[in-house]
Structure 1
Amino acid sequence: MLDKPRLHVTSANYKYLQVLDILENKGRFYLNDEDLHQKVNRFIIDNHMDFGKLVGLASKGYPNIFLTLAVETRV
């Protein structure tokens, strides 16, 4: 069963929302945290994603991820 998206999904933000969903559900993957973060970082770089936009979207619909990003980057 699929849940309703937390934020409005557009062609401009869907990759950001995918990253946030992956980070939020990281315990469900068969990768250790370091490998997962390396893959996510590579995805962000390869897709020329704006970290500020990622943090902004996290603050609107992913409070736990926003806190993690804020602590890790000292936002």
Structure 2
Amino acid sequence: MGGGGADAGGLCALLTLTSVLKPDHFLVYYPPNLTQVVTLLEHLKILALPYLQERTLEVIHREWGVHSPSPSHTPSSNK
């Protein structure tokens, strides 16, 4: 489902998913941005599909460069 507006491909995909998804099962959607969440909700409303949006989460991924200290930077045991 692309960004912005109700595109025919996204609507068709939702209709297909709805026809094969068993009752009491889940549709889980992992879009890369919030705009696509809004588009999904628009599609669900347009088609009046029986889905419930339980929650929307944002997960931020940050890479950290954490390295073990080299032997020359470890505290000396000589006192």
Q: Same fold (TM over 0.5)?
A: no
In terms of fraction of residues, the more helix-rich structure is 1
Q: TM-score, normalised by structure 2?
A: 0.38
Compare relative contact order (CA 8 Å, sep 6+) and give the higher one, 1 or 2.
1
TM-score for the superposition, normalised by structure 1: 0.39
